[in-house]
């Protein structure tokens, strides 16, 4: 299972624009994507905007994004970049 641990940098956390951008990219991936907080919460479906909002990741909190299968590394790199963009 591939995974990336990233710290969410956006002031609004993983909500609003960062959340929408993240889910939009995740939906394009053929495999399941999950997101969990490193300090409790999840894993939740990374393709669901409702699940991501409910996870309620704040600025400065870390998440682990997981995916497996062909192309997972590329998807994870892109999702990690979105989640860590201020």
Partner 1 sequence: MTTVLAPMEGTAVGLAAVPDPVFSAGMVGPGTAIDPLRGPGKAVAPIAGKIMKLHPHAYVIVGDDGKGVLVHLGIDTVQLKGAGFQLLAAEGDRVSAGQPVVAWDPSAIEAGGRSPVCPVVALDALSEELTGVAEGAVHVGDELFRWG
Binding stretches for partner 1 (CB under 8 A): 12, 16-17, 20-21, 23-24, 48-50, 53-54, 56
Q: Is 39 assigned a catalytic role?
A: no
Catalytic residue among 8, 10, 15, 79: 15
Q: How far is the CB of 23 from partner 1 (least distance, A)?
A: 8
Q: How far is the CB of 33 from partner 1 (least distance, A)?
A: 14
Alpha-carbon span 9 to 14, nearest angstrom: 9
The edge-to-edge listing of strands for the beta sheet with 2-7 is: 2-7, 62-67, 34-37, 44-45
Report residue 6 CA to chain centroid gap.
9
Active site positions, annotated: 15
């Amino acid at each position: 299972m591939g995974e990336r641990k990233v710290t969410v940098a956006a002031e609004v956390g993983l909500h609003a624009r960062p959340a929408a951008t993240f889910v939009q990219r995740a939906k394009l991936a053929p495999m399941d994507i999950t997101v969990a907080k490193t300090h409790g919460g999840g894993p939740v479906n990374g393709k669901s905007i409702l699940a991501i909002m409910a996870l309620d990741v704040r600025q400065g909190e870390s998440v682990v994004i997981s995916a497996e299968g062909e192309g997972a590394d590329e998807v994870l790199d892109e999702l990690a970049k979105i989640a860590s963009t201020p």
